[in-house]
Amino acid sequence: MITDEQFKLANQRAKKKISNSHVTTAVHYDNNSERITISLSSGLELSFSPKTVQGLENAKPADLTEIEISPSGLGLYFPKVDTDLYIPSLLHGLLGTEKWMAENGRKGGRARTEAKIAASRENGKQGGRPRMPKSV
């Protein structure tokens, strides 16, 4: 059970955190660019593709038209796909759990583009990747 004093202290900590944070003042999905844009109280705007965010990766444009800003301004809720985002995490470049981020990195590493193939060939001509030093 939480005491009145604990509740009061928790509210004070939350107010302090919010006053030191960039809070969301507006958010919308743009069909033309296929990006979500968040306006923050600092004047900063953050824009990203929903396909890169865990929970939004399979969302259809119609699923992204309704976005709710949490009372604190630190969170977003997408009711049509039941997904929450925490703004401070987005500002740190975290678009999902560690497992999600690692899987996205693996997908990028497996990509076979002409540019990547050409770069690999060039590196091979120069002797390839340097060997790792042996541990002592």
Closest by Cα among 49, 47, 76, 81 to 63: 81
Cut 0.85: pTM above it = no
Homologous superfamily (CATH) for 22-95: Uncharacterised protein PF10387, DUF2442 (3.30.2020.40)
Q: What is the pLDDT of residues 76-92, one digit of tens each?
A: 999 999 999 988 888 76
Sort 55 into a burial class: Cβ within 10 Å, 0-12 / 13-18 / 19+: middle
Structure confidence at residue 66 (pLDDT): 96
Tokens for 91, please give them: 């500002």
25-34, 54-63, 101-110, 115-124: lowest mean pLDDT where? 101-110
Domain locations along the chain = 22-95, 96-126
For the stretch 17-50, pLDDT in tens is 766 667 899 999 999 999 999 998 888 898 999 9
Quote the mean pLDDT of the chain.
82
Torsion of CA 46, 47, 51, 57, to 10 degrees: 50
Relative to beta strand 68-69, strand 45-48 is: unpaired
pLDDT the model gives residue 33: 95
